[in-house]
Homo-oligomer: A and B are copies of this chain.
Amino acid sequence: MRQRKTPRIRQLEALMAVVVNGSMTAAAADLGISQPAISRLLSDLAREFDFQLFDKRDGQLVPSEEVRLLEPDVRRVLDLMRQISDVSADITKRKAGHIRIACLPGFATSHLPRVVADFLRDRPGVTMTIEPDRPERILEWMITEQYDFGITDGFFGHPAVDRTEVNMRTVCVFPEGHDLERLEVITPRDLATQHLIHTRKDSDFYGQLVRGFQNENVELKSRIEVRQFTAACELVCNGVGISVVSELDAAKYAGQGLLYRPFRPTLSHALSLVRPIHKAPSLITLEFMAHFKDSLRPYLQ
C-alpha cells in the first residue's frame, strides 16, 4: 500500500480558519489570502481525507462530525508549530536555552548568584544548572563535556579545555576597628606581628605570598590554612586573624564586619574561565560567558 500522505500545515490552518470564521470568504480575509486559495486548500484536504469537511447551514459552514473529531489534534499541532517558532526566535534573541555551569564552591555562594540573577532577568526562557565542586572535578566535567562553562583556579591547561585566564586584584582584609584601618596600603612589614589566614601551602597563591614576605625579610606567621577565600573572610570577620584575598571576595564581606586595603607587592590570583574545546558553545552560553567576564571587570588586576 502506498505511503499515506500527511496533510499539510497550510491545509490545517485553512481548516481551522473556516471552523472559526464560519465562511471561506471570512477565513481568507483572516489569513490574509484570497478566497479561491482557501477553497482549493480545503477541497484538496477533503479529497485527501476522503470525507466532507463542512455542512452548509443557513449560509454558514459548520464543521462536520469528522472534523470535530480531528479538531483537538489539529489545534494542538498548530499551537506547537507556533511555539516552535516562538522558541526559535527566543533562542536567536538569546532569550531561551539551557546553560550548565561548574564552579568553585566559593563562586556558587558569593559572586555567581548575582551575575546569574542579572542575566536571567530579561531572559525568561533560559534555564541553568549550577554545580559547585573542586577544581579537579570541574576539569573532568569540561573534558567529558558535561558542562558548558567552568570557573576554577590553579589550572594550567588541558588539550580538551579552552581556557581564559583572568588575573584578579588581591587585597588585605582585616576586622573593622583593627589598627590596619589607618593605613592606605598594606605591605608584609605591616603584617609582621599578625597571624595570617591563607590558602593551602601547595597553592600558587600561597607561594607568591611567601615570596612577598621573604623579599622584605618578614616572617609569615601562619595561623590557619583554608581552601577558599570566602572561608578566610569569614574567619577574619570573627577576629581570628588577617588575610590576603581576591578583592571579589573581600568586596562581598565589606560592611559585614570586615574592611580591606590594597596589598603590596601585587599578588595575582589567576581565575580560569574554561569550556570544552571540542564542543561548539550555544549562542546563549557565549553570551553568558561574555556577561560573566564583564562582571569581573571591577576586580581585575
Min C-beta distance of A71 to chain B, whole Å:
10
Residues of chain B contacted by A66 (CB below 8 angstroms): 88, 91, 97, 282-283
Number of copies of this chain in the oligomer?
Answer: 2
**Looking across the interface, which residue of chain B has its beta carbon closest to that of A279?**
B55
Number of interface residues of A (CB under 8 A): 45
Interface check A92, CB cutoff 8 A? yes
**Looking across the interface, which residue of chain B has its beta carbon closest to that of A88?**
B49
Tell me whether B83 and A4 are in contact (CB under 8 A).
Answer: no
**Looking across the interface, which residue of chain B has its beta carbon closest to that of A93?**
B50
Tell me whether A85 and B4 are in contact (CB under 8 A).
Answer: yes
Residues of chain B contacted by A7 (CB below 8 angstroms): 81, 84-85, 88
Query: In the complex the two chains form, what is the Cα distance from A226 to B81 in whole Å?
Result: 60
Residues of chain B contacted by A85 (CB below 8 angstroms): 4-7
Query: In the complex the two chains form, what is the Cα distance from A284 to B64 in whole Å?
Result: 12
Residues of chain B contacted by A285 (CB below 8 angstroms): 65
Chain A positions within 8 Å of B, measured between CB atoms, are 4-9, 12, 49-52, 55, 57, 64-66, 69-70, 73-74, 76-77, 80-85, 87-89, 91-92, 96-98, 148, 278-285
